[in-house]
Amino acid sequence: MTNRLERLRAAISEAGLDGLYISCPVDDVFGRHSQNRQYVSGFTGSSGIVVVTKDHAVLATDFRYIEQGERECVPRGFRLFKTVGRDPKRWLGALLGETGMAGKRLGLSRADMTYGEFVSLDAAVQELPSGDRPKLVPAPPLVEGLRKRKDAEEMALLQRAIDIADGAFEAVAATLAPGQEETAIAAAVEREVRRLGGSGISFETIVAAGPWGAMPHASPRAVPVEPGAAVVIDMGALYGGYCSDLTRTIVAGEPDAKFREIYAIVFEAQRAAIEGVEPGMSGRDAHRLAAEVIARRGHGERFGHGLGHGVGLEVHEAPYLGETSTDTLEEGMVFTIEPGIYSPGWGGVRIEDVVVLENGKARVLSHATKLTPPGV
């Protein structure tokens, strides 16, 4: 974590700033909307502000979180500043004085601040003596840039979240049968995730059977799965604040010829992407590795979403792998590879794994069972 502070300080300096102010979009008791703040400081509480400068790293929070901050942040090089009330006019001047930011360029982490909070912060700044007022500057996505590449601590948490999801899927798939309702399958996924040690699911589970599977983000229904229907299960586990993301498409009963055909194409497309991605490649070119396979097999118009996305403290984060991506893939990046084919009136097939770019190629982190097409 100390290395994260060093890297962030270098990024702050490179951006021409004297410090960075990281808040939280909402006061969220579930701690799911403060990933940048958590990444930098380790703080998992619902309310608090992080200020990082060349010489200071401070968590400003109220009395509810002082003890938590001592446990989570002080060992990571932070000191605590106790705020009183929600109005920054009551404590901003003292915080700026302690962090040496009076009259300096203070970058605001834009993803972590509402417009209302900015208005309150700006009003508090204007009430300070003119020489003590920092210049509030919208910062580039500095923390997000650091989060693209995972360190060893993150990889351990990610792998645990992935393993939990793998195990939960295996348990649910083993009992899948015609007549089960999609909502019941989704509920079983969450139970298994928690049984295996996850703190919860990383997003609302998608279970879509038959024609419903033609919608990539379909919500599960209280509708029984028909015999022979393809069932798309898109799920993830949360562990230590880190997310996993897994999709498998299975059949309730015996698969028909069309399912075998479509599944084989998606399987081939995913394999081509896993084998072909490499550092230095653009997210757009990575997407095309799979998209071109699907297009050659006559289903190009049925693959309309991106190939994948980064996974970490958020289930969707940088990099993005898709036709419009401007990201460049780098060693240490973790992302999904999830091609699919969606046919209205019939259904869909999607296969998704999480990979990490390591030693010049993708290493697959997901190990849940897939169907293996004949001849593969």
Long-range CB pairs of 159-163 (<8 Å, 24+ gap) are 159/365, 160/197, 160/239, 160/240, 160/242, 161/198, 161/202, 161/236, 161/237, 161/238, 161/239, 161/240, 161/242, 161/243, 161/244, 162/237, 162/244, 162/246, 162/354, 162/365, 162/366, 163/367
Q: The domain spanning residue 301 has which CATH number?
A: 3.90.230.10
359 and 311, same domain (yes or no): yes
Residue 370 within any structural domain of the chain: no
Residue 369 within any structural domain of the chain: no
Lowest-confidence region among 89-93, 107-111, 279-283, 370-374: 370-374
Can you tell me the distance from the alpha carbon of 248 to that of 353, in angstroms, rounded to the nearest whole number?
9
Residue 375 within any structural domain of the chain: no
138 and 200, same domain (yes or no): no
Can you tell me the distance from the alpha carbon of 281 to that of 12, in angstroms, rounded to the nearest whole number?
27
Residue 9 within any structural domain of the chain: yes
197 and 333, same domain (yes or no): yes
Using the 3D structure, point to which of 132, 147, 162 is the last residue of a domain: 147
Task: Residue 188: name the closest of 230, 229, 231 by CA.
Answer: 231
- The single-letter DSSP state of residue 303 is -
H-run or E-run covering 335: strand 334-337
pLDDT tens by residue, 305-320 = 999 999 999 999 999 9
Residue 371 within any structural domain of the chain: no
pLDDT tens by residue, 194-228 = 999 999 999 999 999 999 999 999 999 999 999 99
pLDDT confidence tier of residue 293, bands split at 50, 70 and 90: very high
Give the model's pLDDT for residue 29. Answer: 58
pLDDT tens by residue, 241-268 = 999 999 999 999 889 999 999 999 999 9
What length is written for the chain?
A: 376
| Overall number of domains in the chain | 2
Can you tell me the distance from the alpha carbon of 83 to that of 100, in angstroms, rounded to the nearest whole number?
17
63 and 23, same domain (yes or no): yes
Place of tokens 């993708």: 362
Hey, which residues does 209 pair with through a beta bridge?
Answer: 231
| Beta carbons of 44 and 31 less than 8 angstroms apart | yes
Average pLDDT over residues 176-180: 96
126 and 260, same domain (yes or no): no
Q: The domain spanning residue 90 has which CATH number?
A: 3.40.350.10
Using the 3D structure, point to which of 82, 114, 147 is the last residue of a domain: 147
Q: Could you tell me the CA-to-CA distances from 45 to 29, 32, 37, 68, 180 in Å, in that order?
A: 7, 10, 10, 8, 39
Is 80 exceeded by the pLDDT of residue 346? yes
Is 80 exceeded by the pLDDT of residue 33? no
Apex CA 90: angle with CA 31 and CA 39, to 5°? 25
158 and 301, same domain (yes or no): yes
69 and 177, same domain (yes or no): no
Give the model's pLDDT for residue 28. Answer: 59
Using the 3D structure, point to which of 129, 147, 165 is the last residue of a domain: 147
pLDDT confidence tier of residue 25, bands split at 50, 70 and 90: confident
21 and 82, same domain (yes or no): yes
175 and 130, same domain (yes or no): no
pLDDT confidence tier of residue 31, bands split at 50, 70 and 90: low
193 and 266, same domain (yes or no): yes
Give the model's pLDDT for residue 251. Answer: 95
3-state secondary structure of 4: helix
Give the model's pLDDT for residue 84. Answer: 81
pLDDT confidence tier of residue 1, bands split at 50, 70 and 90: low
Phi first, then psi: give them for residue 364, nearest 5 degrees. -80, 130
264 and 338, same domain (yes or no): yes
349 and 238, same domain (yes or no): yes
Residue 373 within any structural domain of the chain: no
pLDDT confidence tier of residue 85, bands split at 50, 70 and 90: confident
Average pLDDT of the chain is 95
pLDDT tens by residue, 109-158 = 999 998 999 999 999 999 999 999 999 999 999 999 999 999 999 999 99
Residue 75, preceding bond cis, omega within 30 degrees?
no
Structural domain boundaries, residue 127: 2-147
Residue 376 within any structural domain of the chain: no
Can you tell me the distance from the alpha carbon of 284 to that of 323, in angstroms, rounded to the nearest whole number?
5
Residue 75 within any structural domain of the chain: yes
